[in-house]
Chains A and B, each alone.
Chain A
């Protein structure tokens, strides 16, 4: 479904991502891991069009989408969440998700209809399914960190994506929150038949749900395959030696 080949990006001579290739088959759950600074977020930014690669391409269902504008990419079925929580802080939870529906269903250029009534059912339904149903009226900026991450997921889901790219979805969460978040994400992905690609620091998360793991180190792929293979991989052990998850 998603095919990444030889993506490379340098900033002022520093190579953040070098020749990265990976595949995300339809319906799979894949993880990208690596120490801080390995280039995970840069890789995501390259895939989702926030940055243009110096070299390499990205294909979605066979169609070349390298470097196309983010707003076009998400109309092709790519949903993304961000590492630093990226929501609309002064809008309510409801308004956040409703905005995504409005945009996705093509109502963004409607200048006359009153906006409150539109997509109420869909928005509330989505909020329920991700566990924010009772917080719909709260101002998004005042949600807890975990709540905001949930909202991020909601925003991505409202776009009815085929593939979800989640950048550190459990960053800053406690162990309990992490488990709940991962359960939620996995359930949603299975329910909707989504392809999932996420970056993570937390190894327990990764090994619990990922079918396929790509390991990045200093911008390059050093291992790629099923969890068991990666766990046993020499290069990976060297890189992670001494590093606790």
Chain B
């Protein structure tokens, strides 16, 4: 197994061990981190690998959360179906929205992704019968873990956990599987085609790529995985609310992706970890988290006079090749 694969496995194992520490708080924090790691990595498929900067990625996160929430809470659909449905609906929305977005460039593209996300938010905010409107949908049920508890009676280590901890184990496994899938995608020929589009869309056109179709595919995949992240988040958060799709959510995940490093696969996950932990630390001292975050961002941006891409480009020249040989 390659070095990177081994490292990934170790992180996975370490993640699974968090509840052993016995603190509800750490488990909660870890659960938050891994879901946002998936969300941010899905966005990076668009931003880092294809070069499309989306301001509305929270739309698919929100759609996923609502779909899973509605299915599980109102229709008593089991998690096994409700969660993949989040990905399916996220992909479907991304297909429709992306169809229009990929026809635009740069700032217009960004504005349209924003507009679509706000449309999703407006629907979630106002369609009271379906989504609970402004109040959202509190108390999404946990998946049924009874079978696991019964199994735990005979198998050591599987028994005696709290529901939230079972859910954490489930999330970790699902997120790891999703990240593995995303990793396969970005290291595949398709992923390479996306990077050529990012590097030089005109040239990509002239090695035979229907650039628009590839961009749409990336959009749909990103939307699918964001939806899956959202599906997990709704349950984790013990409730689904309209602000899941609001533009500030989109900006949060974009910041994680960019700061963590959009030039590498694990960058966004690192960004999620750092930002959430930092938030946690700061919030325990002061309520002025936005001030701290803003200052940190400004300082980091000043530190990279060539811009983010400049710094990333210098790193990624080496890192990209390392990722590839993994």
Contacts and interface: CB of A to CB of B under 8 A. Distances in A.
A99 B200 contact: no
Contacts of B191: 111, 115
B210 A111 contact: no
Given A110-B188, A159-B207, A91 B193 contact: no
A50 B211 CA distance: 13
Q: Max chain B CB contacts within 10 Å: which of A80, A88, A95?
A: A88
Contacts of A103: 193, 207-209
A223 interface: no
28 contacts: A50-B202, A70-B206, A71-B209, A71-B211, A74-B208, A82-B202, A86-B202, A86-B203, A87-B200, A88-B203, A88-B204, A91-B196, A91-B199, A92-B321, A95-B324, A99-B192, A99-B193, A100-B207, A100-B208, A107-B189, A108-B193, A111-B185, A111-B190, A112-B185, A114-B187, A114-B188, A116-B325, A139-B317
Contact of B189 (A50, A80, A108, A141): A108
A155 interface: yes
Nearest to A97: B207
B251 interface: no
Nearest to B211: A71
A110 B207 contact: no
Contacts of A155: 203, 207
Given A71-B209, A103-B208, A109-B189, 15 more contacts: A71-B205, A86-B206, A99-B192, A102-B192, A103-B193, A103-B209, A109-B190, A109-B217, A110-B190, A111-B184, A113-B189, A114-B187, A114-B188, A115-B187, A116-B325
Contacts of A88: 195-196, 199-200, 203-204
Contacts of A104: 207-208
A89 interface: yes
Contacts of B325: 116
Contact of B203 (A87, A92, A114): A87
Interface string A158-173: 1100000000000000
A214 interface: no
Contact of B193 (A74, A102, A112, A116): A102
B220 to A, nearest CB: 12
B208 A71 contact: yes
B188 A111 contact: yes
A70 B193 contact: no
B36 to A, nearest CB: 24
A102 B210 contact: no
A6 to B, nearest CB: 25
B313 A90 contact: yes
B108 interface: no
Nearest to B317: A139
B324 to A, nearest CB: 6
Interface in A110-124: 110-116, 118
A190 interface: no
B237 interface: no
A158 B200 CA distance: 17
Contacts of A113: 188-189
Nearest to A89: B199
